[in-house]
Protein backbone atom coordinates (compact mmCIF):
# COMPACT_ATOMS: atom_id res chain seq x y z
CA UNK A 1 0.00 0.00 0.00
CA UNK A 2 1.30 3.43 -0.95
CA UNK A 3 0.72 4.77 2.57
CA UNK A 4 3.44 2.39 3.88
CA UNK A 5 5.92 2.86 1.01
CA UNK A 6 8.47 4.64 3.24
CA UNK A 7 8.93 1.35 5.15
CA UNK A 8 9.86 -0.73 2.11
CA UNK A 9 13.15 -2.56 2.77
CA UNK A 10 13.37 -0.96 6.23
CA UNK A 11 10.96 -3.03 8.32
CA UNK A 12 12.56 -5.82 10.36
CA UNK A 13 10.14 -8.45 11.59
CA UNK A 14 10.22 -11.62 13.65
CA UNK A 15 8.47 -14.52 12.00
CA UNK A 16 8.62 -18.24 12.71
CA UNK A 17 9.26 -19.84 9.34
CA UNK A 18 8.51 -23.47 8.71
CA UNK A 19 11.15 -25.76 7.22
CA UNK A 20 11.61 -25.27 3.49
CA UNK A 21 13.10 -22.79 1.04
CA UNK A 22 15.19 -19.92 2.36
CA UNK A 23 12.78 -17.33 1.02
CA UNK A 24 9.60 -16.86 3.04
CA UNK A 25 6.42 -15.80 1.30
CA UNK A 26 4.00 -14.32 3.76
CA UNK A 27 0.29 -14.16 3.18
CA UNK A 28 -2.09 -11.74 4.83
CA UNK A 29 -3.37 -14.68 6.92
CA UNK A 30 -0.02 -14.73 8.80
CA UNK A 31 0.01 -11.05 9.80
CA UNK A 32 -1.05 -11.82 13.38
CA UNK A 33 2.05 -14.00 13.88
CA UNK A 34 4.51 -11.37 12.64
CA UNK A 35 6.07 -8.96 15.15
CA UNK A 36 7.83 -5.75 14.12
CA UNK A 37 11.27 -5.72 15.77
CA UNK A 38 12.46 -2.37 14.49
CA UNK A 39 12.52 0.02 11.56
CA UNK A 40 15.95 0.63 10.01
CA UNK A 41 17.11 4.18 9.36
CA UNK A 42 17.98 3.30 5.78
CA UNK A 43 16.87 0.73 3.25
CA UNK A 44 18.48 -2.68 3.22
CA UNK A 45 21.06 -2.90 0.49
CA UNK A 46 21.99 -6.28 -0.83
CA UNK A 47 25.55 -5.91 -2.09
CA UNK A 48 26.12 -7.44 -5.49
CA UNK A 49 29.42 -8.53 -4.05
CA UNK A 50 29.53 -10.07 -0.56
CA UNK A 51 32.62 -9.32 1.52
CA UNK A 52 35.13 -12.03 0.49
CA UNK A 53 37.57 -11.72 3.42
CA UNK A 54 40.48 -9.31 3.78
CA UNK A 55 42.89 -11.48 1.81
CA UNK A 56 40.56 -11.51 -1.20
CA UNK A 57 39.48 -7.87 -1.56
CA UNK A 58 39.99 -6.77 -5.16
CA UNK A 59 37.39 -4.37 -6.55
CA UNK A 60 36.89 -2.53 -9.80
CA UNK A 61 36.38 1.21 -9.41
CA UNK A 62 32.69 0.77 -10.28
CA UNK A 63 32.24 -1.87 -7.57
CA UNK A 64 34.04 0.29 -5.02
CA UNK A 65 31.99 3.32 -6.03
CA UNK A 66 28.75 1.37 -5.56
CA UNK A 67 29.82 0.02 -2.15
CA UNK A 68 30.91 3.47 -0.90
CA UNK A 69 27.90 5.40 -2.23
CA UNK A 70 25.46 2.76 -0.99
CA UNK A 71 27.29 2.84 2.38
CA UNK A 72 26.97 -0.93 2.65
CA UNK A 73 27.14 -1.78 6.33
CA UNK A 74 29.34 -4.87 6.37
CA UNK A 75 31.89 -3.42 3.94
CA UNK A 76 31.98 -0.09 5.81
CA UNK A 77 32.42 -1.72 9.22
CA UNK A 78 35.09 -4.16 8.10
CA UNK A 79 37.13 -1.71 6.03
CA UNK A 80 36.87 0.99 8.72
CA UNK A 81 38.47 -1.30 11.28
CA UNK A 82 41.65 -2.11 9.40
CA UNK A 83 44.59 -0.23 7.98
CA UNK A 84 46.39 -1.63 4.98
CA UNK A 85 48.86 -1.34 2.17
CA UNK A 86 46.87 -1.44 -1.06
CA UNK A 87 47.47 -1.43 -4.78
CA UNK A 88 45.58 0.32 -7.56
CA UNK A 89 46.07 -1.41 -10.90
CA UNK A 90 45.36 0.46 -14.13
CA UNK A 91 43.83 -2.42 -16.06
CA UNK A 92 44.32 -0.59 -19.38
CA UNK A 93 48.13 -0.70 -19.18
CA UNK A 94 49.13 -2.76 -16.11
CA UNK A 95 50.70 0.17 -14.26
CA UNK A 96 50.42 0.12 -10.47
CA UNK A 97 50.06 2.59 -7.65
CA UNK A 98 50.82 1.48 -4.08
CA UNK A 99 49.36 3.36 -1.12
CA UNK A 100 48.62 2.83 2.55
CA UNK A 101 46.17 3.80 5.25
CA UNK A 102 46.89 4.56 8.88
CA UNK A 103 44.01 6.84 9.79
CA UNK A 104 41.09 6.57 12.15
CA UNK A 105 38.63 4.99 9.72
CA UNK A 106 41.21 2.94 7.88
CA UNK A 107 40.70 1.68 4.36
CA UNK A 108 37.08 2.83 4.18
CA UNK A 109 38.07 6.47 4.69
CA UNK A 110 40.92 6.38 2.16
CA UNK A 111 39.04 4.49 -0.53
CA UNK A 112 36.04 6.79 -0.04
CA UNK A 113 38.39 9.62 -0.90
CA UNK A 114 39.20 7.94 -4.23
CA UNK A 115 35.51 7.54 -5.00
CA UNK A 116 34.64 11.12 -4.02
CA UNK A 117 37.47 12.54 -6.18
CA UNK A 118 36.51 10.38 -9.19
CA UNK A 119 39.57 8.15 -8.85
CA UNK A 120 42.56 10.32 -7.95
CA UNK A 121 42.26 10.39 -4.13
CA UNK A 122 44.25 13.63 -4.11
CA UNK A 123 47.33 11.90 -5.53
CA UNK A 124 49.27 14.18 -7.92
CA UNK A 125 50.29 11.47 -10.41
CA UNK A 126 46.81 9.91 -10.52
CA UNK A 127 45.34 13.40 -11.11
CA UNK A 128 47.64 13.77 -14.12
CA UNK A 129 46.64 10.37 -15.49
CA UNK A 130 42.95 11.10 -15.04
CA UNK A 131 43.34 14.58 -16.57
CA UNK A 132 44.81 12.94 -19.68
CA UNK A 133 41.43 11.22 -20.00
CA UNK A 134 40.29 14.68 -21.07
CA UNK A 135 37.21 16.06 -22.71
CA UNK A 136 37.76 14.13 -25.98
CA UNK A 137 37.37 10.75 -24.31
CA UNK A 138 34.34 11.89 -22.33
CA UNK A 139 32.63 13.13 -25.52
CA UNK A 140 33.45 9.93 -27.42
CA UNK A 141 32.64 7.52 -24.61
CA UNK A 142 30.77 7.25 -21.33
CA UNK A 143 33.79 5.40 -19.91
CA UNK A 144 35.96 7.20 -17.39
CA UNK A 145 39.66 6.46 -17.00
CA UNK A 146 39.02 5.64 -13.35
CA UNK A 147 36.81 2.79 -14.58
CA UNK A 148 40.07 1.02 -15.52
CA UNK A 149 41.26 1.06 -11.88
CA UNK A 150 41.16 -2.01 -9.67
CA UNK A 151 41.67 -1.67 -5.88
CA UNK A 152 43.35 -4.56 -4.06
CA UNK A 153 44.46 -5.04 -0.46
CA UNK A 154 48.09 -6.22 -0.28
CA UNK A 155 48.76 -6.29 3.46
CA UNK A 156 46.23 -5.82 6.26
CA UNK A 157 46.80 -4.50 9.77
CA UNK A 158 43.92 -5.79 11.90
CA UNK A 159 42.28 -3.64 14.55
CA UNK A 160 44.36 -0.82 13.13
CA UNK A 161 47.41 -2.33 14.82
CA UNK A 162 50.82 -1.26 13.63
CA UNK A 163 51.84 2.35 13.92
CA UNK A 164 51.95 4.76 11.00
CA UNK A 165 55.74 4.53 10.66
CA UNK A 166 55.64 0.74 10.38
CA UNK A 167 52.81 0.88 7.82
CA UNK A 168 54.71 3.47 5.73
CA UNK A 169 57.77 1.16 5.80
CA UNK A 170 55.63 -1.69 4.51
CA UNK A 171 54.24 0.62 1.80
CA UNK A 172 57.82 1.45 0.76
CA UNK A 173 58.62 -2.27 0.66
CA UNK A 174 55.73 -2.94 -1.75
CA UNK A 175 56.68 0.06 -3.92
CA UNK A 176 60.15 -1.48 -4.25
CA UNK A 177 58.78 -4.96 -4.96
CA UNK A 178 56.55 -3.69 -7.79
CA UNK A 179 58.94 -0.91 -8.88
CA UNK A 180 56.01 1.54 -8.91
CA UNK A 181 58.26 4.61 -8.71
CA UNK A 182 60.08 3.66 -11.92
CA UNK A 183 57.35 1.89 -13.86
CA UNK A 184 54.10 2.84 -12.16
CA UNK A 185 52.14 5.76 -10.76
CA UNK A 186 54.05 6.40 -7.50
CA UNK A 187 55.94 9.68 -7.52
CA UNK A 188 57.26 9.47 -3.97
Q: How many residues does the chain have?
A: 188
Lowest mean pLDDT among 42-51, 60-69, 130-139: 130-139
Q: What is the mean pLDDT of residues 130-155?
A: 74
Closest-CA residue to 15 (of 32, 28, 33): 33
Looking at residue 70, its pLDDT comes to 86
E strands, the chain, in order = 11-14, 35-39, 58-60, 82-90, 96-100, 149-158
**CA dist., res. 180 & res. 11, Å (int):** 48
Tell me, yes or no, whether 106 and 173 share the same domain.
Answer: yes
Over residues 168-176, the mean pLDDT reads: 97
Average pLDDT over residues 76-98: 95
Query: Is residue 137, in this structure, part of any structural domain at all?
Result: yes
**Confidence check: pLDDT of 135 > 50:** no
Q: Does 45 fall in a domain?
A: no
Q: Are residues 101 and 63 in the same domain?
A: yes
**In sequence order, which residues have a C-beta less than 8 Å from that of residue 99 and are 6 or more positions away?**
85, 86, 87, 88, 110, 121, 123, 171
pTM of the model: 0.72
pLDDT of 163 strictly over 80: yes
Longest Cα separation, the chain: 69
Domain-located, residue 15: yes
138: pLDDT strictly greater than 50: no
Q: Say whether both 75 and 11 belong to one domain.
A: no
Residue 26: pLDDT band with limits 50, 70, 90 = low
Do both 153 and 61 map to the same domain?
yes
8 Å CB contact between 153 and 170: no
- Assess if residue 46 is contained within a domain: no
The verdict on 113 and 178 lying in the same domain is yes
Mean pLDDT rounded to a whole number for the chain: 83
How confident is the model at residue 44, as a pLDDT? 57
Same domain for 34 and 90 = no
Three-class secondary structure of residue 178 per DSSP: helix
The pLDDT score that the predictor gives to residue 136 is: 42
What local confidence, expressed as pLDDT, does residue 18 receive? 64
Give yes or no: residues 33 and 77 share one domain. Answer: no
Task: Please indicate, yes or no, whether residues 116 and 159 belong to a single structural domain of this protein.
Answer: yes
Q: Please tell me the total count of domains within the chain.
A: 2
Residues 6+ apart with CB under 8 A from 8: 43
Cβ(100)–Cβ(171) below 8 Å:
yes
Cβ neighbors of 73 (< 8 A, separation 6 or more) are: 45
Q: Which range of residues forms the domain containing residue 140?
A: 54-183
Instruction: Check whether residue 30 and residue 59 sit in a common domain.
Output: no
Amino acid sequence: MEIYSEYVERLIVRFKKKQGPKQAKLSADNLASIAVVRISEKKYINANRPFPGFNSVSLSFQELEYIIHANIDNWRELLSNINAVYCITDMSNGQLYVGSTYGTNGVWQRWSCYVNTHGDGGNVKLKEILAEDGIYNRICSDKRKADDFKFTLLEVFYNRDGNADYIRKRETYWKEVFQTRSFGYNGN
